Structure 1
Amino acid sequence: MGVTDMSFSAGWLTSWKATYNISSKVISGEAAAVDLGVVDNWQTTTLPEILKQYPPSHIYNGDESALFYKLLPNKSLVMKGDTCHGGKRPKGRLTFMACTNMDGSDKVELLVVGRVWKPRCFKNVKNIPLDYHANNKAWMTSNLFTQWSKKLDRRFKREDKKTIVNCFKKAKFVPQDDPQDDPKDDIPLSQLVVDEDDIPLASLFQ
Structure 2
Amino acid sequence: MQKAKEFAIDVQVPPGECEFTGGWLDRFKACHGIVCKIISIEANSVDSTSDDYQNWQVDETAIFFKALLDKTLEFSAKPCHSGKTNKKHLTELVCANMSGTEKMPLHVLGRSKNPRCFKHVKKLPVVYNANKKVWMTSIKFTEWVPNVDEQYMMKGRKITIIVDNCPAHPEVKNLTALTLVLPPNMTSVLQPMDQGII
Q: Show the counterpart of 1:156.
A: 152
SS of 2:49's equivalent? helix
Structure 2 residue ranges without an equivalent (≥5)? 1-40, 164-169, 176-198
- String of CA shifts for 1:149-201, please: whole Å, max 9, x gaps: 11111112122222559x99xxxx97xxx9736xxxxxxxxxxxxxxxxxxxx
The structure with higher relative contact order (CA 8 Å, sep 6+) is 2
Does residue 115 of structure 1 match 2:111?
yes
Structure number with higher helix proportion: 1
Does the Cα contact within 8 Å between 2:56 and 2:160 map onto a contact in 1? no
Q: Show the counterpart of 1:62.
A: 58
Q: Show the counterpart of 2:126.
A: 130
Q: Show the counterpart of 2:174.
A: 180
The root-mean-square deviation of aligned C-alpha atoms, in Å, is 3.1
How much has 1:117 moved relative to structure 2?
Answer: 2.3
Moved more, 84-93 or 150-159: 150-159
- TM-score, normalised via structure 2 length: 0.56
1:47 to 47, 51, 54: 51
Please say which structure displays the higher CA radius of gyration.
1
Does the Cα contact within 8 Å between 1:157 and 1:163 map onto a contact in 2? no
Alignment-mate amino acid for residue 100 of structure 1: A
How much has 1:64 moved relative to structure 2?
Answer: 0.3
Structure 1 residue ranges without an equivalent (≥5)? 1-28, 52-58, 182-206
- TM-score, normalised via structure 1 length: 0.54
Structure number with higher strand proportion: 2
Distance 2:115 2:95 in 1: 24
Paired positions, count: 130
1:88 to 77, 84, 88: 84
- String of CA shifts for 1:25-81, please: whole Å, max 9, x gaps: xxxx9x6xxx93xx32xxx32222x54xxxxxxx11111000001111111222331
Does residue 145 of structure 1 match 2:145?
no
Distance 1:103 1:78 in 2: 42
Distance 2:173 2:81 in 1: 58
Does the Cα contact within 8 Å between 1:153 and 1:163 map onto a contact in 2? no
